[in-house]
Structures are given as structure tokens and as C-alpha cells.
Chains A and B, each alone.
Chain A
Amino acid sequence: MLSVGIDLGTSRSAISSSNGEQFVVDSFVGWPADLVARKVLQKDLLVGRDALDNRTMLELHRPLERGLLKEGSDRDVEAARELLRHLLSLVGAKGNKAQPVRAVVGVPAAALRTNKQYLRTALKGVVDSLMIVSEPFAVAYGLNALLHTMIIDIGAGTTDFVVMKGRYPTEDDQRSLTIAGDSIDTYLQKLIQAKYPDAGFTIFMVREWKEKHSFVGEPTDRVVVTVPMSGVPTQIDITDEMRAACESIVAPIVETMLDLLPHVEPEFQERVRKNIILAGGGGLIRNLGPTLERALEKVGGGKIRVIEAPVFCGSDGGLALAKDAQDSDWDRLVN
């Protein structure tokens, strides 16, 4: 028996396994675009970084959009299945009846039941039993932060919020925004393009710059990157653009955070304000935690804790759920 927790992310997917293995891969799947590509690549399928690095030769798929499986495309469903198979193979799942796999998969907080049904159907035959939970709930469970806590999980496709009240969160306790890492990338790309129209760069380069240099508030250093301009490698300063793009997510996050707080029983609101956890890759945007704390001052102040190693906090939470669930529970979740 192998239990796994999976954070099936729009940009990256992580897996934590009961055998102690952990892996993270880029959520890209690609098939050789033609016979020539097939011959060059010597593979029928590429997943993760391998797919990204060879994308010019591939029919590249990013099977998740805003944290949800894209609907209506068989190829994207197949890509999601391949991505999951790949993750399972990395942690040593044998893919046979001798070693059944029990998986907990995190999805955005606002995923509708129909989205979950679609994902469940798409993953039939890939795992033996499947539990789908909201991603911020998985994070909360993994951190054992189940009471008077707010989790803000800033991923690529969505920013998810949950207020834990010592029970399984209802839809009232959760929110999802599509303002997240990808929207920062898109905005940053536009800003840089406007300032340096002759610069050549891709969204993938923009994402790497963001992951290395993101910040809100005052810069500590100038952000300078190298791009080809008319074929000549040239250094450009993108400090102001980086700040503007990263700060674009602050207002919606503050608004949602402040919108959720009044839904907490009055006597517990202060405890929740002082117990806010910033998770996900977006939580690592420099100075974001203090910026959100300043926004909390107008409602009595609060404390934001940033998860320093957010890559596996969702999948670890999923794994904790998978291990804690009883055999009788899993019998009801056969896929």
C-alpha cells in the first residue's frame, strides 16, 4: 500500500509519499509534434522540465488552468493522467495491484463539485482510491492548524483562502481568486514589453525572473536581467515593473482577507487575525507578509507567518490526510 499527497498545481505539481519520497515537477506534458521531433527526442512523451526544455519540438500541454483540469479537451485529460502517472513513478509506485495507491489531491478552494467529479473521472485507473480536498485545507491539515487560523495559499493559477474553525471548511469558510502567480507573470511580461519593445523574452523567462527577484514595497537592489535585443545580449532594469506586477496581487488579497474575517465569530476574530499563514510559492514574495500585516492594522492588527519552504506543504498535508484516513474510509473512495 502506498499513500500519497499530491498538490496538482497549475504551474508545478508536488508529491509526498508514505515511503518518504518527495518530488516536484513542472506541470507540463508534451508529445513530439511530428515524426522528426519523435526521432530527435527518442521519446513518445515528455513530462515536467524535460517537456519545457524541449517545448519547440512538442505539442505542449499544461493540463490545469487556474488549478482545475481543463474541460472539453481529451488531450488535456490525457496530459493530466500522464502527469499523475509520472509523479507516481517518481515516488516508486509500481502501478500494479500488488501495491494499491491511495491518493489525496488538492484543488482550489472554490472548485465546484462538478470540477471534482471531472477530475475524479479523469483519474480513473491511475490511482486505486482518491480523496479530493481543497488545497488550503490540505495545507492547514498538514500544519495541524485546524482552529482559529487563516491559510492564504498563493499558487500559480489561484490564491486560495480558508479559515479553519475546527471543522471541515464549508464554502463560506473559503475563497479562491484567480489573481496569483500566473497573473503576475502576464502583467510583468506586458510591462517589460511596453518599456523595452525590442527586448526578446518569453513568459518562461519572466517566471524565472519573478521567482528570483519578486518583491513588494521598497526595493533592496535593482532588478537587472539580460535579454537579447536585436540579437545582442543586453542588460535591462526591470525593478519598477517587478514591483508593480507583484503589488498587483496585494489589493485583492487584502480585500478577501478582510472580507473573510467578519465571518468569524466575534470572540475569535482576534485569534484568527494573529494566526494567518502565508503558504504557496507566492508567499515568498519579499515583504508581502509585512505588507499584509500593515493592512490588518485598520482592523486591530494581526500577525502573518510565512511558510519558508512552501513547495511541499500542500502535498505533505495531503499525505497526512491519506495516512490518517481509515481503511473503511478508503473503501468508500475507490476510484
Chain B
Amino acid sequence: MKARILSDAVGDNVDTITGALPKPLRHEHRRRVPRGSRLGLLAIPVGIGIALLGMPGRPLPPPTTAPPAVSIVTGAAPTAAAATVDRHALSRPVDPGVLELGVRRVILDAGHGGDNHGTASATGLQEKTLTLDIALRTRDLIVMKGFDVVMTRTEDAAVSLQERATLANGRHGDIFVSIHLNALRPAAARGIETYYLGPSDSPEHDAIAAVENEESGYSLSDMRTLLDKIYADARRDESRRLATAVQQALIHRVRQIDPDMANRGVKMAPFVVLIATDMPAILAEVSCLSNADEADRLKTPGYRQTLAEALASGIQAFAGAERTQASGS
């Protein structure tokens, strides 16, 4: 028995040296994965492919189908790993005890900036201006709650997605919250949704990711490296819980003003800024600038303050839940 155990220990080390993927589950617990769910993984390179191809201006995502370019990139981008990874193994709950539990430093990312205006309302209200305002308000609120906050930008400056992720990693943030405003079709559509990193199985989500990934600056080679990180990333479960906490807080607060606000839910999509950050990371589409009523509300400081309060509340709820889990109470 000892010899076999020792041989397996050596084999495990050789796998580490050669960079083989971790064995997902031992055979008696391994679940067969329906072919359809494996296809979901391919959506990562698909979405990133969209981003890499670049999209001039900022068109709204197509309502039902992905752009034709998708099929071109699908064949080229997936790594060998993408085809063999057991998605169920990736989504197994992670013991919070193994993860970074104390949330002290929050990285707040105001989407877009500088030449990258983001989306805009029919009246010319720009996403970059609003996300910065909401992020600054959120910063002020969570600093008062005792968190240390690092902003990826504090003025109307162009900051690449890569620079944002590098800053977040370099400053050792405990969580990363990226603030954006959505643009949806038809114009009457609206709602709040929060994303964390994962394979999307919806062309619509891929398209939204592609828009936010614009000007990522990553090469295909960089992308493959980043994708490799996804498969070893145990922080996804943390990110999902952070996304859930923020989404719940946003819906709860906004529905006090607008009971009909649509809850578009917590979703997975391959946003570059989420791939490249090393900590639990989410991207919140806190409102919808393509909707005229929402755009009117966003003009008022009071509404932006409400959104900031909701974000702060969600972050605090997540941090509190983490502490509770960490202390085992």
C-alpha cells in the first residue's frame, strides 16, 4: 500500500512540474458532464474572441445572436485545456476556509474613462461620467465603514483594462468591484445585473462582455495564459457570492424607489477585467442608460447616491458573511 501511495505522490508532483491540469474528482464521484454544458466553456474564448476582434464605436448587443465573427474565432481560440476541463469540477463549492477571508481592501473600478466614453443616453449622458460619480460616492461610503479603498481612476482619464487589473493585483485588493451602466435592446428594456467570471452560455452575455472588453490590449497569447488561470482559479465561488450580495442589495434599494425594476440576476461572462484580477471580482451593471426613464433618474445625484449606498451595502454584506464563515459562527 505504501509503495502505491508513494508512487501516486510522485505522480502528483510530476503533474505539477509538467503543468498538467489537476485531476478533477476521484473516479467514483466523477459525474458525466452533458455535452451541452461543456459547450458552455467554449463561450469563454468565443466572448474573448469578440473582444479581440474589436468593435468600432459602441453598438448595442444584438438581441438574440452573436456577431458572425464568433464562428471565426471559435475554432482558433480554445486551448487544449478548454476541451478537457470538467465544468462540474470547476463549479464545486470551495471551502471558504482555504480562501482569503478578511475583506479589508476594496478595489473600486469606475468603468470606461477618457476617450472611452462607454455607452450614452439619447440625451448625451455618458457612462464614463456616471460610473465615476457612483464609484466616488461608493468609496466615501465604504471608507466610513472602515474599508481601505483603492480606485482605478478618480478623474476622467483613460485607463486600460490591463492597467486596472494590474493596479488591483499590485495593491493586493481583497475584492474588485467594477461599476458599469448597461445598454439594452429594445430601448424600453431595463434592469440591474451583476456578472462574475465564468463561461457564458448566452450570446447576449458574450456580446455585453465583448463591449466591456473593448480595447483590452491583450493578445491572443495573453488570452490563453489568462484562460489557463481560470481553470485553476478557486476564487470563482467567492466572486459568485460577492455578485449575489451586491445584486441583492442593488435590487432591494432600487425597488424602494421603483418597485418594478427588473432583476436581471447574477450571471457569468468572460469580462477581461475579471479574468485578469487575482481576487474575487465582479462587474455590476447598476442601471441601464439606454432606457430613457433610467437615464432621467441617473441625472439626479440622489439616485446615484442610492446606487452607491446599495453597492456599499452589498460589499459590506459580503464582507460580513465572509467573517462569519471565517469564524465558524
Q: Which of B293-329 touch A at CB < 8 Å?
A: 326-329
A117, A168, A179: the one contacting B19 at CB < 8 Å is: A117
Q: Which residues of B contact A251 (CB under 8 A)?
A: 328-329
Complex Cα gap A97–B297 (Å): 73
- Let me know if B2 and A146 touch, CB within 8 A: yes
Nearest Cβ on chain A to B6's Cβ, whole angstroms = 6
Nearest Cβ on chain A to B187's Cβ, whole angstroms = 45
- Mark each residue of chain A from 298 to 330: 1 if its CB lies under 8 Å from any CB of chain B, else 0: 000000000000000000000001001100010
Q: Which of B86-119 touch A at CB < 8 Å?
A: 95, 97-98, 101
Beta-carbon nearest neighbor of A138 in chain B = B9
Q: A113-B22, A114-B232, A325-B6 are in contact. Are A176 and B16 (CB under 8 A)?
A: no
- Let me know if A332 and B14 touch, CB within 8 A: yes
**B29 lies within 8 A of chain A by Cβ:** yes
**B17 lies within 8 A of chain A by Cβ:** yes
A-B pairs with beta carbons under 8 A, tally: 100
**B172 lies within 8 A of chain A by Cβ:** yes
- Mark each residue of chain A from 124 to 135: 1 if its CB lies under 8 Å from any CB of chain B, else 0: 000000111100
- Let me know if A321 and B6 touch, CB within 8 A: yes
**A178 lies within 8 A of chain B by Cβ:** yes
**A147 lies within 8 A of chain B by Cβ:** yes
**B189 lies within 8 A of chain A by Cβ:** no
- Mark each residue of chain A from 146 to 179: 1 if its CB lies under 8 Å from any CB of chain B, else 0: 1100000000000000000011101110011111
- Let me know if A167 and B97 touch, CB within 8 A: no
- Mark each residue of chain B from 1 to 34: 1 if its CB lies under 8 Å from any CB of chain A, else 0: 1101111111011111101001101100100000
Q: Which residues of B contact A141 (CB under 8 A)?
A: 2, 5
- Let me know if A113 and B232 touch, CB within 8 A: yes
Complex Cα gap A175–B8 (Å): 19
Q: A131-B10, A133-B9 are in contact. Are A324 and B4 (CB under 8 A)?
A: no
Complex Cα gap A116–B329 (Å): 31
Q: A72-B172, A172-B25, A177-B97 are in contact. Are A113 and B16 (CB under 8 A)?
A: yes
**B227 lies within 8 A of chain A by Cβ:** no
Complex Cα gap A132–B16 (Å): 9
Complex Cα gap A179–B23 (Å): 27
Nearest Cβ on chain B to A154's Cβ, whole angstroms = 13
Q: A177-B97, A333-B13 are in contact. Are A170 and B6 (CB under 8 A)?
A: no
- Let me know if B97 and A256 touch, CB within 8 A: yes
- Let me know if A116 and B16 touch, CB within 8 A: yes
Complex Cα gap A281–B308 (Å): 46
Complex Cα gap A296–B29 (Å): 26
Complex Cα gap A116–B169 (Å): 20
Nearest Cβ on chain B to A262's Cβ, whole angstroms = 13
- Let me know if A179 and B327 touch, CB within 8 A: yes
**A203 lies within 8 A of chain B by Cβ:** no
Q: Which residues of A contact B29 (CB under 8 A)?
A: 172
- Residue of A130, A170, A179, A248 with most chain B CB atoms under a 10 A cut-off: A170
- Let me know if A333 and B6 touch, CB within 8 A: no
- Let me know if A248 and B22 touch, CB within 8 A: no
**A53 lies within 8 A of chain B by Cβ:** no
Q: Which range contains the number of A residues in contact with the other chain?
A: 35 or more
- Let me know if A179 and B234 touch, CB within 8 A: no
Q: Which residues of A contact B232 (CB under 8 A)?
A: 112-114
Q: A113-B16, A113-B232, A172-B25 are in contact. Are A167 and B98 (CB under 8 A)?
A: no
**A255 lies within 8 A of chain B by Cβ:** yes
- Mark each residue of chain B from 138 to 177: 1 if its CB lies under 8 Å from any CB of chain A, else 0: 0000000000000000000000000000000110100000
Complex Cα gap A325–B5 (Å): 11
Complex Cα gap A72–B170 (Å): 8
Complex Cα gap A288–B169 (Å): 39
Q: Which residues of A contact B25 (CB under 8 A)?
A: 170-172
- Let me know if A252 and B328 touch, CB within 8 A: yes
- Let me know if B5 and A117 touch, CB within 8 A: no
Q: Which residues of B contact A178 (CB under 8 A)?
A: 97-98, 101, 326
Nearest Cβ on chain A to B13's Cβ, whole angstroms = 5
Complex Cα gap A114–B233 (Å): 9
Q: Which residues of B contact A256 (CB under 8 A)?
A: 95, 97
Complex Cα gap A171–B24 (Å): 9
Q: Which residues of A contact B169 (CB under 8 A)?
A: 72
Q: Which residues of A contact B12 (CB under 8 A)?
A: 133, 168
Nearest Cβ on chain B to A320's Cβ, whole angstroms = 9
Beta-carbon nearest neighbor of A144 in chain B = B2
Complex Cα gap A75–B168 (Å): 20
- Let me know if A179 and B97 touch, CB within 8 A: yes
Q: Which residues of B contact A324 (CB under 8 A)?
A: 2, 6
Beta-carbon nearest neighbor of A332 in chain B = B14
- Mark each residue of chain B from 24 to 59: 1 if its CB lies under 8 Å from any CB of chain A, else 0: 011001000000000000000000000000000000
**A110 lies within 8 A of chain B by Cβ:** yes
A113, A116, A179, A329: the one contacting B326 at CB < 8 Å is: A179
Q: Which residues of B contact A (CB under 8 A)?
A: 1-2, 4-10, 12-17, 19, 22-23, 25-26, 29, 95, 97-98, 101, 169-170, 172, 232, 234, 326-329
5 more contacts with CB within 8 A, not counting A133-B9, A175-B98, A333-B10, are: A72-B169, A114-B232, A131-B9, A172-B25, A333-B13
* 18 A-B contact pairs sorted by A residue (CB < 8 Å): A108-B98, A110-B98, A112-B232, A113-B232, A117-B19, A130-B13, A131-B9, A131-B13, A133-B12, A168-B4, A171-B25, A176-B95, A178-B101, A179-B97, A249-B328, A321-B6, A329-B10, A332-B17
